[in-house]
Structure formats: structure tokens, C-alpha cells
Amino acid sequence: MLNQREILVVEDDRKTVELLRLYLERAGYRVALAYDGRSALDQIRHQPPDLMVLDLMLPKVNGLELCQIVRQESNDLPIIMLTAKSTEDDLLLGLDLGADDYMTKPFSPRELVARVRTVLRRAGDPSTAGKQALAFGELVIDPLRHEVRWQGQPLSLTPKEFKLLETLGREPNRAFTRLELVQRVFGFDYDGLERTVDAHIMNLRKKLEPLTGRLTYIQTVYGVGYRFAWEPDRA
């Protein structure tokens, strides 16, 4: 049975586009296509897809610029980036701009479909239904609304940033290893670098700490990973 979720493939190489469309349609997804960043942005604004597969090297508006624009307008659209650049700095830059996952070329179309399935599952996890909001002083993590608020105002977080913060916040003061966070946030079939967790933590801190001041919620546990530090009377 078709799941009816729509994937927007943004790629200027038509052979790659047709290959991805073939595999995604076989997996039961509807596929929309764009061959440059400008037409992709028009499509997203007119009819947002459920997920975007985004190549970095695009005409008119490149992939990094498009990712940045989309994130400024919406935090709900999951993005998987495709890049021929394999250095860690390039990958972290994409994550810093709000991508949820990435694949370096050349890649397996079957693996891409698996990544699409994982990112969609994590972005729209039905198990969040009915969960109560987590309150830490003036910081609230609300799984039902998929929203984080500080002093009542929503913060602009990507789906992965939200899931990471929720995972840490559900077990305050517990030290999580990077591998545990990769498995919980990205899925057990995610084989990306554990270094991506550091990138998302860095982004979360950039968004939280200017607001919270002296309150550092996410602490590094050296040699282990991270924890959500909280004492009921700290605020």
C-alpha cells in the first residue's frame, strides 16, 4: 500500500534524478522534481513536500542557500543533503544550516531510500502523541506540539535538534554516549558519523544559551558524551 508521502528531489543531474525517482516510487513514495534551487523554492512555498532530497551543487540558488532559506521559513521540512564534498567541515556546515541527514556521492539508491524512511519516521514519530510537555524552569519541551519554548516563546529548532533535546531532557542528568544519541535520534540503521551529534549539540547551544544566560542545560561529559543538567531549584 502506498504511503502517499511526497519526496521532493532537487538535483540538476537528470540521470541521478531518474534513478532516485525509480527507487523512491518503488518504495511507495510520490516524487516531485526540481532541477534548480529557485524552482525548488517555488514548489516548497506552493505545496510543501514531506521531505526534500537536496543536492548542494545547483544552478540559480545552490543547495546550501536553499537549505538556509527553507530553514528560515520552516523548521518542519526534513532535509537530506547530497554532496560530492566529503570533508567533515563541509558536512558539518550542511548540518549547521539545518539539514537532518546527508549522503556523499557516489551513494547507493537503496541506502538513500532507507535514510528517507528513517528521517521521516523520526520527524513524524507517532509515539509522541499524548506525551506531556517537559518543563525545566522557563524552558518547555512539548512533544505533542513538537515545539520548544523559552519564557513562552517558541524556539526555531530543526526536527533533529528537537529530537536530540527531547531525548536528553527525558532523562535529566543522565550521561548519554554519542552512539546512544545517534541510535535514539537518527535510528539504529543510521551509519553516519557520531561527529554529527556534536554539530547538533553545538547548534542547540547557540540557540539556547543566548536566551538562558547562565543556565547551561546541555553539558559535555568528557570522554562520554552529553547530559541534560537540571536541578529543580536551579531556576
Q: Which domains does the chain have, with CATH numbers?
A: 6-123 (3.40.50.2300), 127-228 (1.10.10.10)
The pLDDT confidence band at residue 158, using thresholds 50, 70 and 90, is confident
Confidence (pTM) = 0.62
pLDDT of residue 8: 96
The pLDDT confidence band at residue 86, using thresholds 50, 70 and 90, is low
Return the ∠ at Cα 158 (arms to 57 and 113), rounded to 5°.
Answer: 55
Question: Which of 82-96, 113-127, 193-207, 211-225 shows the lowest mean pLDDT across its residues?
Answer: 82-96
The pLDDT confidence band at residue 214, using thresholds 50, 70 and 90, is low
| Whether residue 18 has pLDDT greater than 60 | yes
Tens-place pLDDT, residues 160-176: 888 899 999 988 899 99
Tens-place pLDDT, residues 130-143: 467 888 888 899 88
Cβ contact 93:106 at 8 Å: no
Nearest-Å Rg of the Cα atoms of the chain is: 18
| Whether residue 43 has pLDDT greater than 70 | yes
Other beta carbons within 10 Å of 103: 16
Each as own residue / partner, the long-range contacts of residues 206-214 (CB below 8 Å, 24 or more positions apart, any chain) are 207/155, 207/156, 207/157, 207/161, 208/139, 208/150, 208/155, 211/150, 211/151, 211/155, 212/138, 212/139, 212/150
pLDDT of residue 235: 47
